[in-house]
Structure 1
Amino acid sequence: MNEQERAGERLLPEVATGERKLEHVRLCLEENVAGEGITNGMERYTFRHNPLPELNFDEVSLDTLFFGKRVRTPLLISSMTGGSKTTGAINERLARVANARGWALGVGSIRAAVEQPDLATTFDVRRWAPDIPVIANLGAVQLNYGFSTADFQRAVEIAGADVLVLHLNGLQEIFQPEGNTDFSGLLNRIEDLCRTMDVPVGVKEVGWGIDGITAQRLYEAGAAFIDVAGAGGTSWVQVEKYRNNNPVRRAAAEAFADWGIPTAECIREVRALNPEGVLIGSGGLQNGVDAAKALALGADLAGFGRSLLESAVASDEALDGRLEQVEFELRTVMFGIGAGQIEELQQTTRLIERR
């Protein structure tokens, strides 16, 4: 044992992408990786109760449209994992349960499978989810590190996806031991990719939010949708803090615990500047009331990530129960304000800012 190990420091060698994804899951389950001193902003809003909703609760419908396709819920399991045997099993469970309940499904970054084809089965969710929208996922920064249109197309094929999302994760890459930190010139490369892919291409953050102006630039560049993935949930700086053996960066991570734009603020800004753009609201959502607020603020879908992870690891029954609860909470909000359809929720005047 060397001096650093005796001092209790954890030394992390370069690891394969798939192994890194497994470690990410472990850290999200076992460590405090939430941002500190910042919330998703949903607590700033409340629904004004309608004592006479004139609805039959059993007829409140969650059906909605996503890229012109009728789906059973306006809910999304956000990109989380894949790339190893264990995380592949999690993806399989997510896909089975999402398909049964009618949730859209995003997979974690498929970079591992593009680089190591033997990992492709861990992202092959379409065989378990034939009926729901599936979103493939790769880091936008890979456009600066040798990934071609063919690589992004391969990611779509691996997942059997309907659409592709490019994630923006600049701060994570800075604190990640293996990080790719050249984000220069990405907008033009994103635009080129949007124009050449065979499927719609969207852009998401990973937990620090997308503001209205940036979303406008991305829509103008050809992005088919934006997923704001705002602050208030997982902080990937805090996740990578546990993996980084650089003492300066581990200490510096604490200064960024409250970094980001709250999810509610992102949704409101993006929708105000881009009234026609397809918009996903995610980032720290915990329940169906949060989902209802996201939809009423302007989102087309509401996405859930780490708040589902524990159930996803546990069992099909646990995950199914968790999703059922979110749906029940969302339908109850709709009944409580007199909105029988998702479109009515999105147009409600009963979401108000707290005084």
Structure 2
Amino acid sequence: MIVTIRTRNLAVGFPLAAAAPVVAAPLMSFAGTIATGLVAFGAGAVLTVSYGPVSEYQDIRFITIGVLTAIAAVINRLITRDRRSLRSARDVAEAVQNAVLPVPPDRIGPLAVAARYLAAQEESAIGGDLYAIQDTSHGVRLMIGDVRGKGLGAVEAVTVLLGAFREAADWARDLPEVIRILERAMNRLNAGGNDPVCFATAAVAEISSDFTTLNVANRGHPAPLLVDGGKARELEPASPSLPLGLADLGPPQVPVDRFDLPPGAALVLFTDGVTEARDRHGAFYDPLQRLSQPIPREPDGLLDALIADLYRHTGARLTDDAGMLALVRNFDSPTEMFTQGRGLAG
């Protein structure tokens, strides 16, 4: 009976010890994997001493642990190399994206400005997210968008749209004219490219010269959020519109929605990499909930808080690139601050 129990312990213990370095390979460092193999070897020796007797299979068991440790070390090296390659590819993609995107000014009049670009952790291709803001004689004009697809084709479309926006923002008389210029740019790109159905969702906005009103032309993009008086709300378009590049499939009119921009209010725009981010249960992220809570007064802190909440929701894993743009209209005077009330957290 005792011999049977010892034999059973050996039969169970050795396979577990042999499997330990293989399990450790994708989870630990190279040194940790080797150390796990040595511990497994020592555990096998303890099992042999404790639950002998010595059998003709003893040497095979120890050889098995040694071979599996060597295999685990090779697996660890391969996994580490692949992780470094993926990390390097993501870093390159993010660097190229940041080089293509214009760096927004920190301040335009009473507007404090901040932007963020988050590279997807499950993609190494360059994304098509874009944003831009420009001070013009017509007011402050800004755009955030997301080109369909990834890679060099997306970069080409982003470059075309940014160039067209910079030109249109300066001299176009109104937002519908800006949209039409962007549409013509996308049509030229589609006519001369290999992809005949390139399109981009975009929200193009204009803040009046006195910084009191906001006009938005939304082309199939996630609605911007306005935070005022401690409450956040979506600036949904009254009439839906097709993305840029697909205007020929819809009506010729360019709907523009008008909103008030009170002192102390924050405007937050983002791409669908934010709203389509999911947690481990598949639930989508809702930035409206986070922005309805107390948030920092400055746009940099606001976006940092939003990103931290986004990472908390997703477990710090994004499946799509995300672009963000935040503007805060500072109070014009101390009197105005007290009469309007604080819209953001101090």
Q: Same fold (TM over 0.5)?
A: no
Q: TM-score, normalised by structure 1?
A: 0.25
- Greater strand proportion: 2
Higher RCO (CA-CA < 8 Å; seq separation 6+): 1
Q: TM-score, normalised by structure 2?
A: 0.25
Q: Which protein is bigger by CA-based radius of gyration? A: 2
